[in-house]
Each structure stands twice: as structure tokens, then as C-alpha cells.
Chain A
Amino acid sequence: GDSVTQMEGPVTLSEEAFLTINCTYTATGYPSLFWYVQYPGEGLQLLLKATKADDKGSNKGFEATYRKETTSFHLEKGSVQVSDSAVYFCALSRGNYGGATNKLIFGTGTLLAVQP
């Protein structure tokens, strides 16, 4: 079945360091791919998404490119801040982004801790 694998954390970085959180997926067809972020005590928030191969999602300095050939959607940021400390979840949804009942399949989540 469909699945998402992302690197285990925690990832601890100093402020202004470069961030990469790896995410690979297994799915037939062309799923939509997402990164969600969960700040302490809050719900999951959509960070960025990509719906087809070679699409690049970006938001708040974070980027991820949908790579069909490597089935990957790695999250990157050039210079992290303390405020980026959170848990990051990679996820996929089958088929089109549309369809109210399409369900999300999540990775395990990666805790990022950014130190001043």
C-alpha cells in the first residue's frame, strides 16, 4: 500500500544552518505530496504542497521538489531560525488534490530543534 518514509529525528541545528529533512514515498500513480508543520501545542498546518512531478512547493523559505524518478519530496531551508523549531510531517494524498474524502497518509514526523 501507499506509504511515506521520512528521516528520524530529532534534528538539532544552530540558527542560520541549512536544513534538509528527507522524505520518500511509495505509491502507484501520481499522488499529491505535502509537508505539514506542528508547532508545540498546536494543530498541524500545511507548509507546502506539490501535485505533480517536478513541481516545487515553497513557503516561508522552505522548499520541496516532487521527484518522481527518486520518489522523493525532501524539505529544505537555507537558513533556519529558532522559530522554525517544530515537528515536520511529510504526507501524500492519492489522486488529485480535489475530492473531499481523499485521505492523507503521513510519515512519522521529524522533530527539528534550532538552537540560538
Chain B
Amino acid sequence: GAVVSQHPSRVICKSGTSVKIECRSLDFQATTMFWYRQFPKQSLMLMATSNEGSKATYEQGVEKDKFLINHASLTLSTLTVTSAHPEDSSFYICSARTASNYGYTFGSGTRLTVV
């Protein structure tokens, strides 16, 4: 079945640095990629939606200059957390859809800790 590879699975970074998270669709073309964030004991909150070759659409309250999303190809999308701060510590997870299959395929998530 469809597989999305997300890495790193865990990352610890210093405050003020940037961190890049990658999601790759291994056996299908991801027309649309969704990026979610999850706080402990809370829902997965949608951060942004990106279509291949287009600018991402950010949800209300999400800083687009802080959370940079690139979806330059049909198999790769990246989320870069710029100038990370401890409050950015969270679980980030991606989900991909293809135009021909309306299912959502999720990555395994990235645990980001900013110290």
C-alpha cells in the first residue's frame, strides 16, 4: 500500500536554530500534503495544506514565515521550523493524498524538542 516516509523521527535542537522535517511518498505521487501538529493529549491540528508546485495554504494562526513548507515535487514535501523556540516543541506529522486516490496516508511523525 501507499507509504509516506517521514524523518527524522526525533530531533533535539537549540533555541534559535532551524530544523527541517521531510516527508516522502515512496510509491505514489502526493498531489497534496497536509502538515499537522500535535500537543500532548490534544488533537492533531492542521497547520497547512500544500499542493505540488504551489504555495502552501496556512491555517489561521499559523505563522507562515516561521513554518516554511516546500512541496517542490510530487514525492517530497518539507517543513522547516525557523528560529525554533521551546514553545515550538511538539509532534509534527504529515499526510499525503493523491488526486486519484482519496485516501490519506500518514507519516510516522517527528518529535521536536527545542532546548
Answer yes or no: do A and B interact: yes
Chain A: residues with CB nearer than 8 A to chain B? 4, 8, 36, 41-46, 89, 97-101, 103-109
- A101 contacts B49, C-beta separation under 8 Å: yes
Give the interface residue-count category, chain B: 20 to 34
- A98 contacts B102, C-beta separation under 8 Å: yes
A18 to B106, CA, bound (A): 28
Q: Is the interface of B mostly helix, strand, loop or mixed?
A: strand
Please indicate the chain B residues that have their CB under 8 angstroms from the CB of A97 in the complex: 102
List 15 interface pairs A-B (beta carbons < 8 Å), by A numbering: A41-B9, A41-B108, A42-B108, A43-B106, A43-B108, A45-B106, A46-B104, A97-B102, A100-B98, A103-B46, A104-B95, A105-B46, A106-B36, A108-B42, A108-B43
Please indicate the chain B residues that have their CB under 8 angstroms from the CB of A105 in the complex: 43, 46
Number of A-B contacts defined by CB within 8 Å: 55
**Residue B34 at the chain A interface, CB threshold 8 Å:** yes
Please indicate the chain A residues that have their CB under 8 angstroms from the CB of B44 in the complex: 89, 104, 106, 109
Say how far A30's CB is from chain B's closest CB, in angstroms: 16
Chain B: residues with CB nearer than 8 A to chain A? 4, 6, 9, 31-32, 34, 36, 41-44, 46, 49, 51, 93, 95, 97-99, 102-109
- B32 contacts A100, C-beta separation under 8 Å: yes
Q: What would 12 more interface pairs be, CB under 8 Å, given A44-B106, A100-B51, A108-B41?
A: A41-B9, A43-B4, A43-B93, A43-B108, A100-B32, A101-B32, A101-B97, A104-B34, A105-B46, A106-B36, A106-B44, A109-B43
Please indicate the chain B residues that have their CB under 8 angstroms from the CB of A109 in the complex: 43-44
Among all A-B residue pairs, the 5 with the closest Cβ atoms: A43-B106, A44-B106, A43-B108, A106-B44, A100-B32
Say how far A24's CB is from chain B's closest CB, in angstroms: 14
Please indicate the chain B residues that have their CB under 8 angstroms from the CB of A41 in the complex: 9, 108
- A100 contacts B97, C-beta separation under 8 Å: yes
- B43 contacts A101, C-beta separation under 8 Å: no
